[in-house]
Amino acid sequence: MATYKLYGRGESGNTYKVALMLNLCELDWAPEFVDFFDPETKSRFRSAVNQMGEIPVLEFGSERLTQSGVILTYLSALTGRFGGKNEEERLEILRWLLFDNHRFSSFYATLRMRVGLKGEVESPVTEFLRMQANAAFVDVERHLDGRSYVVGDRPTIADISMAGYIYFDEKTGIDLATYPRISAWASRISRLPGWAHPYDLMPRAMGLERQ
Amino acid sequence: MATYKLYGRGESGNTYKVALMLNLCELDWAPEFVDFFDPETKSRFRSAVNQMGEIPVLEFGSERLTQSGVILTYLSALTGRFGGKNEEERLEILRWLLFDNHRFSSFYATLRMRVGLKGEVESPVTEFLRMQANAAFVDVERHLDGRSYVVGDRPTIADISMAGYIYFDEKTGIDLATYPRISAWASRISRLPGWAHPYDLMPRAMGLERQ
Same domain, A31 and A120: no
Same domain, A76 and A99: no
Same domain, A135 and A179: yes
A32 in helix, strand or coil? Answer: strand
A87 in helix, strand or coil? Answer: helix
Q: Which residues of chain B have pLDDT under 50?
A: 209-211
Q: How many structural domains does chain B have? A: 2
Q: Is B26 exposed, middle or buried (0-12, 13-18, 19+ CB in 10 A)?
A: exposed
Residue B67 backbone zone (phi > 0: left; psi -120 to 50: alpha; other: beta)? left
In contact, A107 and A172? CB cutoff 8 Å: no
Same domain, A100 and A183: yes
CATH number of the domain to which B146 belongs: 1.20.1050.10
With contacts defined as CB-CB under 8 Å, which chain A residues touch B14?
Answer: none
Q: Rg of chain B over CA atoms, in angstroms?
A: 17
Residue span of the structural domain in which B115 resides: 87-190
B208 inside domain: no
Chain B residue with CA closest to A63: the answer is B88
A49 in helix, strand or coil? Answer: coil
User: What phi, psi does B67 have (nearest 5°)?
Assistant: 75, 115
Same domain, B142 and B173: yes
Reported in sequence order, the residue ranges of A114-153 that DSSP labels E, i.e. its strands, are none
Percent helix / strand / coil, chain A, rounded to 5: 50, 10, 40
With contacts defined as CB-CB under 8 Å, which chain A residues touch B98?
Answer: 67, 69-70, 97-98, 101
The shortest C-alpha distance from A91 to chain B (Å) reads: 6
Tens digits of pLDDT across chain A (211 residues) = 899 999 999 999 999 999 999 999 999 999 999 987 778 888 899 889 998 889 999 999 999 999 999 999 999 999 999 999 999 999 999 999 999 999 999 999 999 999 999 999 999 999 999 999 999 999 999 999 999 999 999 999 999 999 999 999 999 999 999 999 999 999 999 999 999 999 999 999 886 544 3
Select the residue of B69, B74, B91 nearest A73 (Cβ to Cβ): B91
A211 in helix, strand or coil? Answer: coil
Best of A52, A127, A132 to disrupt the B interface by mutation (most B CBs within 10 Å)? Answer: A52
Same domain, A74 and A116: no
B98/A97 touch (CB, cutoff 8 Å), yes or no: yes
* Residues A1, A9: Cα–Cα separation, whole Å: 19
Same domain, A95 and A186: yes
* Residues B102, B104: Cα–Cα separation, whole Å: 7
With contacts defined as CB-CB under 8 Å, which chain B residues touch A74?
Answer: 91
Best of B67, B123, B161 to disrupt the A interface by mutation (most A CBs within 10 Å)? Answer: B67
B210 inside domain: no
* Residues A72, B122: Cα–Cα separation, whole Å: 39
Residue B170: per-residue pLDDT:
95
Q: What is the β-pairing status of strands A57-60 and A29-33?
A: unpaired
Q: Look at residues B4, B10, B6, B19 and name the one whose alpha carbon lies nearest to residue B37.
A: B10
In contact, A23 and A17? CB cutoff 8 Å: no
A67/B99 touch (CB, cutoff 8 Å), yes or no: yes
B155 in helix, strand or coil? Answer: coil
Same domain, B56 and B113: no
Select the residue of B73, B94, B123 nearest A91 (Cβ to Cβ): B73
Element (H, E) at B68: helix B68-79
A206 inside domain: no
CA–chain centroid gap for A108, Å, is: 11
A210 inside domain: no
B209 inside domain: no
Amino acid at B143: H
In contact, B27 and B201? CB cutoff 8 Å: no
With contacts defined as CB-CB under 8 Å, which chain B residues touch A94?
Answer: 67, 69-70, 73
With contacts defined as CB-CB under 8 Å, which chain A residues touch B52?
Answer: 139
Residue A84 backbone zone (phi > 0: left; psi -120 to 50: alpha; other: beta)? beta
The shortest C-alpha distance from B77 to chain A (Å) reads: 11
The shortest C-alpha distance from A107 to chain B (Å) reads: 10
Same domain, A43 and A116: no
ipTM for this model? 0.94
Count residue pairs from A and B with Cβ separation < 8 A: 57
Q: Tell me which residues of chain A have a C-beta less than 8 Å from any C-beta of chain B.
A: 51-52, 65-67, 69-70, 73-74, 91, 94-95, 97-99, 101-102, 106, 123-125, 128, 139, 142-143
* Residues B190, A138: Cα–Cα separation, whole Å: 38
The shortest C-alpha distance from B175 to chain A (Å) reads: 22
Q: What is the β-pairing status of strands B4-8 and B29-33?
A: parallel
With contacts defined as CB-CB under 8 Å, which chain B residues touch A106?
Answer: 102, 106
Select the residue of B70, B94, B102 nearest A73 (Cβ to Cβ): B94
B67/A125 touch (CB, cutoff 8 Å), yes or no: no
The shortest C-alpha distance from B209 to chain A (Å) reads: 30
Q: How far apart are the first and last CA of chain B?
A: 32
With contacts defined as CB-CB under 8 Å, which chain A residues touch B106?
Answer: 102, 106
A42 inside domain: yes
- Going by C-beta distance under 8 Å and a sequence separation of 6 or more, which residues neighbour residue A194? A23, A24, A25, A26
A52 inside domain: yes
CATH number of the domain to which B51 belongs: 3.40.30.10
In contact, B108 and B174? CB cutoff 8 Å: yes
* Residues A105, A73: Cα–Cα separation, whole Å: 17
Same domain, A67 and A94: no
Residue A210: per-residue pLDDT:
45
Max CA distance (Å), chain A:
49
Q: Look at residues A98, A175, A100 and name the one whose alpha carbon lies nearest to residue A136.
A: A100
- Going by C-beta distance under 8 Å and a sequence separation of 6 or more, which residues neighbour residue A1? A30
Same domain, B92 and B177: yes
With contacts defined as CB-CB under 8 Å, which chain A residues touch B125?
Answer: 124-125, 128
* Residues A17, A13: Cα–Cα separation, whole Å: 6
Element (H, E) at A65: strand A63-66
A20 inside domain: yes
Same domain, B74 and B95: no
